[in-house]
Amino acid sequence: METKEFEFKGLAMNGFVALFVELVIIALSVWGMVAFGKGQIGTPILSVLGLLLACILPIGFRKLEPNEAMVMLFFGNYRGTFTKTGFHWVNFLMTSKKVSLRARNLNPDNIKVNDKTGNPIMIGQILVWRLKDTYKAMFEIDSQTMASGGSGTAPVAVSSRMRAFESFIQVQSDRCRIARGGGHVCLRRE
């Protein structure tokens, strides 16, 4: 089974360092404007550009909790999966979609089937699952449309996306239980 997932290798730095740099940019820009207002030599163009940059840079701040991942996109192109926990700054032109890598339980209702001789058999299962390949989860399952209720254009929260994955797993596990007639679940172990 081939995976298309790879680690994000783009521009990423510690979020606290980036926050300090942004505060320095703001302070220097304000100082330049004040110095220009007092008639001292100052460059108002650089000060205005610094304040503009200070308004744009916060877009790149990201927070990632343990057992979460962000699928990084650059204008719709997959650029890797970011898994480093903590507070980070990434290129502000990158779009990120969070997914949970935590283990989840699925306890579907029991189903009743008949064996070859017509005897009723109750089939039940408890399925423990977790995402392994974020690329396949994000781009090979239509979780975006399932989570948004059909439109697929609105931003989707992590919890809604994970509920969509749970729904996908539910349908797959029910299909496998019915096809096998009990006993074994046809989901592959990784």
Domain count along the chain: 2
| pLDDT for the residue 62 | 92
- pTM reported for the whole predicted model: 0.65
Where helices occur in the chain by DSSP H, the ranges are: 15-37, 44-56, 134-139, 143-148, 158-180
| pLDDT for the residue 146 | 54
Q: State which residues of the chain have pLDDT below 50.
A: 1, 151-152, 181-190
Domain boundary among 100, 130, 150: 100
Domain boundary among 80, 100, 120: 100
| pLDDT for the residue 20 | 95
Cβ-Cβ contacts under 8 Å for 88 (sequence gap 6 or more): 12, 13, 14, 15, 61, 62, 63, 64, 82
Domain boundary among 82, 100, 118: 100
The answer to whether position 116 is within a domain reads yes
Residues of the domain holding 165: 104-180
The answer to whether position 1 is within a domain reads no
